[in-house]
């Protein structure tokens, strides 16, 4: 069995060799179904491919949401905001915006009113990951969960993600930077030079 390359912590996986082989085979099958006039089989396979694509997109959005929450947890507990954490928060929000908009450019995988449940589910994984990093990893996940204000973290993440529905490009980046100024340790951020 071949070892998979290690990704940096909290980096969503975007490529898997087995998935590419499966996808290539499925596209070959689809082509053959169409050429053979097996349209029902082709439509069934298209439905399966669409489902696989949605599941992969949702998994990647979830990975970025966990990454966002990890850095908001670290910020809340340590009461500081490093450039690295800010970059991770900003990148997570921007990537989620890009992934969340469906290819029709008119609808989303996760609507604005669906984030709360999604984030609550992701929070437990984020706490587990953050426990290895917060204060040098001295807190176990259960203890860290007790220490944080869960509602505040989820509300802040949701507020940042809600920006993705009505802001884009430079305006979204500026709005995220303005949120940094509201975070503990973010008071000294020079928003003009970002």
Distance from C-alpha of 75 to C-alpha of 181, rounded to nearest angstrom? 12
Residue 50: the pLDDT is: 76
Predicted confidence at residue 5, as pLDDT, reads 37
Do the Cβ atoms of 181 and 191 come closer than 8 Å? yes
Q: Is 101 helix (H, G, I), strand (E, B) or coil?
A: strand
How many CA atoms, within 13 angstroms, populate the side-chain half-sphere of residue 172?
21
- Give the pLDDT of residue 41: 80
Tell me the C-alpha distance between 164 and 57, whole Å.
17
The two tokens of residue 187 are: 């008071």
Q: Give the Cα separation of 86 and 28 in Å (integer).
A: 44
Tell me the helices (H) and strands (E) count for the chain, helix number first: 7, 0
* pLDDT in single tens digits along all 194 residues of the chain: 334 333 334 444 444 444 555 678 888 888 888 888 888 887 888 778 777 788 999 999 999 999 999 999 999 999 999 999 999 999 999 999 999 998 877 899 999 999 999 999 999 999 999 999 999 999 999 999 999 999 999 999 999 999 999 988 899 999 999 999 999 998 876 554 44
Q: Tokens 């908009």 — which residue? A: 101
What is the pLDDT, as a whole number, of residue 118?
A: 95
Query: How far apart, in whole angstroms, are the C-alpha atoms of residue 112 and residue 178?
Result: 20
């Amino acid at each position: 069995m071949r070892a998979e390359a290690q990704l940096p912590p909290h980096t969503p996986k975007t490529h898997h060799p087995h998935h590419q082989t499966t996808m290539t085979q499925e596209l070959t099958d689809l082509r053959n179904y169409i050429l053979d006039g097996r349209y029902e089989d082709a439509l069934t396979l298209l439905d399966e491919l669409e489902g696989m694509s949605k599941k992969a997109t949702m998994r990647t959005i979830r990975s970025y949401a966990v990454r966002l929450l990890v850095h908001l947890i670290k910020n809340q507990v340590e009461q500081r905001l490093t450039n690295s954490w800010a970059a991770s928060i900003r990148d997570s929000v921007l990537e989620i915006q890009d992934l969340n908009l469906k290819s029709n450019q008119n609808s989303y995988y996760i609507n604005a009113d669906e984030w709360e449940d999604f984030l609550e589910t992701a929070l437990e994984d984020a706490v587990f990951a953050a426990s290895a990093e917060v204060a040098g990893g001295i807190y176990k996940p259960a203890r860290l969960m007790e220490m944080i204000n869960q509602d505040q973290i989820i509300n802040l993440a949701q507020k940042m993600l809600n920006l993705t529905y009505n802001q884009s490009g430079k305006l979204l980046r500026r709005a995220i930077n303005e949120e940094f100024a509201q975070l503990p340790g973010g008071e000294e951020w020079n928003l003009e030079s970002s």
